[in-house]
Chain A
Amino acid sequence: MFAYLLRRLGFLLLTVVLTSLLVFLIAQVLPGDVCRVILGREAGAARLAECRADLGLDEPAAVRYLTWLADFLRGDWGESYATGEPIREWVLGRVRMSIMLAGVAFVVAVPLAVGLGALAGLLHGKWPDTLISIGSLAVVGLPEFVTAIVLIQFAAFRFPWLPASSAIPVGTPFREALPALILPALTATLVLLAYIARLTRAGVVEELRQNYVRTAELKSLPRWAVLLRHVLPNALLPTITVIAISTGWLVSGLVVIENVFNYPGLGRLLVFAIDRRDLPTLQAIVMVTVVAFALANLAADLLYAALNPRIRVGE
């Protein structure tokens, strides 16, 4: 088990290094010139060259990559080309906001989705299953900006205490931010919900057919014990991996949701950074996202191993 953990951590490190290289390369081939953006269209060639030298853009790419990586690892993420703010504080403040939003969405979506999925799987072929399956299919087909706008139209105008815009200051404590979080979190929940519920349903239907379920039922166990002790732990194995992968999906989903609701999270910052050709900020955001994604996958693998003795305990 220890060797397994070590191997996973090794892979995680490799993933992060490779993506950092990829991010750097993409930032290099991106069209547009930072200095042109900073200085405006009328700037002369001399001013541009000076600006490039200031920012270190005239060094060879390899040198720039290594310098950037070393600085990044030391915690010196540089300053924004666009605003001059220190990137680390800026990005991490936004990360906290996004985690709040994603956290609320997850806490609501995952238990609800697993519960609905398990119910549908248990009653498969009966009307609650049909209802849940069709409902989740309908929701999964809607893009999140549509869900968001519909929610704003219906909820925010009916219930005045629900703000239609979630433009709160960065660093707002969770308790105060909660009303502003409800609608964006609900949007994210709906999309996550459908996917996880469908997967859980499939898992439960599949496991209910297994012979060990018959063994358990013929032990005279009540239905709930069969479901909780025997079916769910096995049925949730594939779901766990998907939940972890949907963390990555959630990041991209948040880009849209945060922009629709004007919520000051990482996703909004990402759009801003791209818009302003703010490469150091962009790189920092992508690195943070990649690490978060890799950690979520690691957590999923560990949880999978913990629930699956065939991996945890060797032959």
Chain B
Amino acid sequence: MSAPLLELRRLSVAYGGLTALREIDLSLQTGETLGLVGESGSGKTTLALAVMGYLPPEGRVTGGEIRLAGRDLAAATRAELRAIWGIELALVPQDPFTSLNPALKIGAQLAEGLRLHRGLTRAEAQARAIESLREVRLPDAERLAAAYPHQLSGGQQQRVLLALALSARPRLLVLDEPTTALDVTTEATVLDLVRDLLAETGAAALYVSHNLGVVAGRTQRTAVLYASELVEDAPTAELFQRPLHPYTRGLLDSLPRPGQRRAAQPLAGMAGRIPPLNDLPPGCVFAPRCPLANEQCHAERPPLEEAQPGHRVRCHRWPEILAGTADPAQPLTATAPALARAAEPLLQLEDVTVAYPLRRTLAEVLAGQPRPAVQAVAGVDLQLGKGRTLGIVGESGSGKTSLARAIVGLAPHSGGEIHLLDLALPPDVQQRARPLLAQLQMVFQNPEEALNPYLTIGESLSRPLVNLLGLRGPALAARINELLEAVRLPAEYAARRPGQLSGGEKQRVAIARAFAARPELLVADEPVSALDVSVQASILNLLHRLQDEQGAATIFISHDIAVVAYLADDVAVMYLGRLMQTGPAAALFKPPHHPYTEALLAAIPGGGAAGVRLAGEIPSALHPPSGCPFHTRCPHSLGELCETETPPWQATANGKQIFCHIPPADLLALQPRPEARP
């Protein structure tokens, strides 16, 4: 084996006195792609920035070396780094929306480096910039070069950043969560592009992600970071098949696999949380959460050992795990079997429309034109039975959040009717009576913003109890304790404020608050998408358990089709404010699908690179396409029929309803059967 392109030797990084990375040993060969996986707080972004030589001012390399082609970057000066940045070493950042200068044209941002380093003239640099936009498969490159970042979609901006990083043909590309901010179908196309471009340019890549699925099909090796430590490093396929570290195993078990259902195979959530950097355990950093931890683990830091050729692990008990005499899987918390319920209807939506009015210009007002509006939700019909779980899947702009807000009355519906039992719901939450408010509760996406930072947890929980149920005194205190216990938080949390809680704990409080008034229906809008993978599973299990105990029906909204399929009884797929498909979750992965559902399924990271990819962007909701709203991106479009005629609802043999012109039998022939999974 030749000398590695990148070699980290016992690299340690600290912020002030806090250790963010501890003695990391890692190497990367020329042309190799290495995945670096970890949750927030694991130090993975610190590692990426350290490799770039771009640690924030308070960050410092406290030991070890970072060798790029033999040169030590840890000791390099800013001037030396400047000779490498963008030329040998380039970064594709996490957040495309803020990583381009809003005041400069795309072409100028691509060209300025070229003019400076290569001495190109303005015209030459501009031509080269346009060429590099073509290389990342951006259509209409000339027009994009003359556009400003805000005129581009997130996927386009991320391609521009990719073009920027690749324009000087670097030998090493550091990708820091390059697709985390993007929609799932966009993510899939960008990931494919990255893979192709790496193959074309021969660049090595360090691929940082919190998502194991993203790393799965696209890297040769994967390293796992946890709380500043490198805990495992192995060829990717082997890591997924036979993880030796209990943390890696826990991560893998936290993600619902496509087709996994909660009743048959519940997710094993990981207990506890990542230790904060100022309070790392003395022994193995994972010991407090590890099902196999013994005294040695708590006392002694395990060494990084080569368990198999090319497979390194930092665990005292790997020999037993390898031999199969110890099981590193997290114990399953027993969940009561779901009760068979009568499908008595609870919620009925008929032709529900949510429109957001826009401003008119003075001329339009004078001409008496009607007020234009964006239809966020257009004519949705849905039913939900008592105690059932309905999952709604869609990308940003699909109208799924607007629909949720219409149901709870935060975004009044402008057309159609919403019935709870036999009662027609007034559109505006202000017009709904208090007993009605108690029946409908919502859990929001971002727990950081959903809790008032000035109220203690107990005060936050008491609001619905006092206002909606009229509890006072000891009964109130008792119910607060009960709620905290139900979401597995200690009773003393009642006196704490949100700032003292982790993201997962805050979401538990938000869930407790939603269940406080004993609602008939809980609407959860992306309740786990802001959370770490290991926390996500335990929140999903919590929602599921509470729902069973309290008998509440749930509408669960997510962009993650695997999570929805895991939790829901029925699944509805939305696109541009309309339903595309409804049907039982059990049949979701079995064709025939609506073509959009097919694309969503194909975009599941780690679900294999095969399958359809969607071209283009989601059209503007202001001017939705005629005919079938999906026809502009549909891989199976029939042409004129789809462009002009609204599709019919067709029933499939496995119980789905599909909003499509293509007969289900034809779709079945077009779509691949899912691979059998272990």
Contact = CB atoms under 8 A, between A and B. Distances in A.
Contacts of A29: none
B54 A310 contact: no
A87 to B, nearest CB: 36
A234 B151 CA distance: 17
A309 interface: yes
Nearest to A315: B151
A208 to B, nearest CB: 10
A221 B101 contact: no
Of B87, B103, B109, B112, chain A has the most CB atoms within 10 Å of the CB of B103
A215 B151 contact: no
Nearest to B622: A315
Interface string A135-147: 0000000000000
B153 to A, nearest CB: 11
A159 to B, nearest CB: 44
Nearest to A219: B113
A305 to B, nearest CB: 12
A309 B116 contact: no
B99 to A, nearest CB: 4
Contact of A220 (B82, B95, B100): B82
Nearest to A10: B362
Contacts of A234: 101-103
A83 interface: no
A158 interface: no
Query: What range describes how many residues of B lie at the interface?
Result: 20 to 34
A221 B103 contact: no
Nearest to B87: A220
A3 B102 contact: no
Contact of A221 (B87, B112, B150): B112
Contacts of B87: 220
A157 interface: no
A234 B84 CA distance: 27
A64 interface: no
Contacts of B362: 7
B117 interface: yes
B623 to A, nearest CB: 12
Contacts, number: 77
Contact of A310 (B102, B104, B164): B102
Contacts of A229: 101, 104, 112
Contacts of A214: 54, 91, 93, 99
A230 B101 contact: yes
A198 B453 CA distance: 30
Contacts of B61: none
A18 to B, nearest CB: 19
Interface string B348-388: 00000000000001100000000000000000000000000
Nearest to B150: A310
Interface in A228-257: 229-230, 233-234
A221 B101 CA distance: 14
Given A220-B83, A309-B150, A313-B151, A225 B91 contact: no
Interface residues of A, number: 25
Contact of A219 (B83, B86, B150, B361): B86
A301 interface: no
Contacts of B105: 309
A272 interface: no
A118 to B, nearest CB: 16
Q: Is the interface of A mostly helix, strand, loop or mixed?
A: helix
Nearest to B99: A211
A229 B109 CA distance: 10
Contacts of B84: 220
Nearest to B148: A309
B148 A219 contact: no
Given A220-B117, A221-B116, A313-B151, A211 B102 contact: no
Interface string A20-59: 0000000000000000000000000000000000000000
A218 interface: yes
B180 to A, nearest CB: 14
A229 B103 CA distance: 9
Contacts of B93: 211, 214-215
B103 A217 contact: no
Of A220, A229, A234, chain B has the most CB atoms within 10 Å of the CB of A220
Interface in B91-138: 91, 93, 95, 98-105, 109, 112-113, 116-117
Contact of B361 (A3, A313, A315): A3
A212 B86 contact: no
A308 B148 CA distance: 10
B103 A308 contact: yes
A307 B85 CA distance: 29
B103 A220 contact: no
Nearest to A209: B56
A212 B54 contact: no
A216 interface: yes
B492 to A, nearest CB: 37
B52 interface: yes
A220 B52 CA distance: 12
B42 to A, nearest CB: 21
A225 B116 contact: yes
B120 to A, nearest CB: 14
A67 interface: no
Interface string B193-217: 0000000000000000000000000
Nearest to B363: A3
A304 to B, nearest CB: 11
Contact of B91 (A7, A212, A218): A218
Contacts of A308: 102-103
B98 A212 contact: yes
Contact of B103 (A7, A211, A233): A233
The 5 A-B residue pairs with the shortest CB-CB distance, nearest first, are A219-B113, A309-B148, A211-B98, A211-B99, A212-B101
Given A215-B100, A219-B85, 17 more contacts: A212-B98, A212-B100, A214-B93, A215-B101, A217-B85, A218-B52, A218-B86, A219-B164, A220-B113, A220-B117, A230-B104, A233-B103, A234-B101, A234-B102, A307-B103, A308-B102, A308-B103
12 contacts: A212-B98, A212-B99, A218-B91, A219-B86, A220-B84, A220-B113, A220-B117, A221-B116, A222-B82, A234-B102, A309-B103, A310-B148
